Amino acid sequence: MTQAEIKLCSLLLQEHFGEIVEKIGVHLIRTGSQSLRVIAHDTGTSLDQVKKALCVLVQHNLVSYQVHKRGVVEYEAQCSRVLRMLRYPRYIYTTKTLYSDTGELIVEELLLNGKLTMSAVVKKVADRLTETMEDGKTMDYAEVSNTFVRLADTHFVQRCPSVPTTENSDPGPPPPAPTLVINEKDMYLVPKLSLIGKGKRRRSSDEDAAGEPKAKRPKYTTDNKEPIPDDGIYWQANLDRFHQHFRDQAIVSAVANRMDQTSSEIVRTMLRMSEITTSSSAPFTQPLSSNEIFRSLPVGYNISKQVLDQYLTLLADDPLEFVGKSGDSGGGMYVINLHKALASLATATLESVVQERFGSRCARIFRLVLQKKHIEQKQVEDFAMIPAKEAKDMLYKMLSENFMSLQVGCQ
């Protein structure tokens, strides 16, 4: 990890969690996995403070732990996860555009707290939404619950791994650290809760002053605690699903720029149909028939089946190969080549950077080298139709900036 990335991680941890958590987090980033006592010794921090800092980091998935054979628990920082904190505003805004204010606040609460039960999220969000409403209006728990279910159905939130419950508990000593497991089938399964109620407003300072003193008010929270209906079932934001959504949006935008709005809407429909059934790391989407795509087009999008088939054929024949044909059943089976689409997007971005920094002629040479993989200087001059001296200078510029590499061949 570069020094700039470590410095960025340090600033993010300090801004979100304070100095002690930042100190422990950066120490783990620099040194790798370490045990509790080694961390306390190396950082000069008390064991109690180290434990609290690690609890915060584990709660937010910024640190993972592993039990070794001798029973020693070692903690390791997840650097990529720390850097993802930069994208929190984008995750929240994306949820707002897809699921309105309720969805926005659900994801915001999960990101702020790391992990929460569904009942806790519903109550927090209902209270926050009630605060923003006019006097006399409140947000119903059922409405927030419905949005939470929709987020789980589309995999934007997921269950956290938990300690498995065993009927015959082992009489021996407990393990040094719990082993957390999750069944893939249960990862997006929402518990059946009957959350009845409405959001509550906070008492203003004026009401507090007019009412009886806080110390004399009866305490209902400690003695009359109701059992939590989903105790032990914690949820977190599924960041990989957000990245999958960003990837899909980039592919749709690229198709719209290259072809037209109708083509992009067809690709959007295909991506939406396979967003849950296709893994974020899969090279292709699940095959979809022309008939299925036609039935799933947005309501009011008036194109005939014949026109759709023409568009699909056009997309499949395009040199970029974003869409491929995988069979002839059901009017033709089509897939989206995700890896090829991402490679094309990355290539276009690189070409744009080269053109901005070095000019159009350098971009022409760079595009040529990308196509040919390996090419000699004389061939660059001939194919790019650029004088020898200029081509040499341009190649050296890009070589010195590490946009190209030199390979010496053997005679």
pLDDT tens, position by position, 263-274: 888 889 889 888
Query: Residues 172-189: pLDDT tens digits?
Result: 677 777 778 878 788 888
Give the pLDDT confidence score for residue 409 in this predicted structure: 58
Q: Say whether pLDDT at 146 is over 60.
A: yes
Give the pLDDT confidence score for residue 238 in this predicted structure: 93
Give the pLDDT confidence score for residue 351 in this predicted structure: 86
Q: Say whether pLDDT at 215 is over 60.
A: no
Q: Alpha-carbon distance 284 to 269, whole Å?
A: 15
Q: Please return the burial class of 180, using the count of CB atoms within 10 Å of its CB with bins 0-12, 13-18 and 19+.
A: exposed
Give the pLDDT confidence score for residue 220 in this predicted structure: 36
User: Closest Cα to residue 341, out of 269, 258, 240, 411?
Assistant: 258
| Mean pLDDT across 95-103 | 93
Q: Alpha-carbon distance 55 to 48, whole Å?
A: 11
Give the pLDDT confidence score for residue 330 in this predicted structure: 66
Give the pLDDT confidence score for residue 216 in this predicted structure: 45
Q: Say whether pLDDT at 391 is over 60.
A: yes
Query: Residues 200-214: pLDDT tens digits?
Result: 777 654 444 444 444
Q: Say whether pLDDT at 156 is over 80.
A: yes
For tokens 């045990």, the residue is 35
Determine the CATH number of domain 3-77: 1.10.10.10
Q: Between β-strands 73-77 and 63-67, what pairing exists: parallel, antiparallel or unpaired?
A: antiparallel
Give the pLDDT confidence score for residue 376 in this predicted structure: 81
Collapsing DSSP to helix, strand or coil, 322 comes out as: coil
| Higher pLDDT among residues 373 and 22, named by residue | 22
Alpha helices in 322-385 (DSSP H): 338-358, 360-372, 377-384
3-33 residues labelled b (16+ CB within 10 A) or e (exposed):
eeeeebbbebbbebbeebbbbbbbbbbeeeb
Query: Residues 339-371: pLDDT tens digits?
Result: 888 888 888 888 889 888 888 888 888 888 888
| Higher pLDDT among residues 215 and 148, named by residue | 148
Full-model pTM: 0.82
Domain 86-164+178-199+231-237 has CATH 1.10.10.10: yes
Angle at 181 between CA 175 and CA 185, to 5 degrees: 160
- What DSSP state is assigned to residue 284? B
| Mean pLDDT across 100-106 | 93
Give percent of the chain above pLDDT 90. Answer: 30
What is the architecture, at CATH level 2, of domain 240-339? Answer: Orthogonal Bundle (1.10)
Q: Alpha-carbon distance 36 to 21, whole Å?
A: 14
| Higher pLDDT among residues 63 and 166, named by residue | 63
- Position 396 confidence tier, pLDDT thresholds 50, 70, 90: confident
Q: What is the mean pLDDT of the chain?
A: 84
Give the pLDDT confidence score for residue 99 in this predicted structure: 93
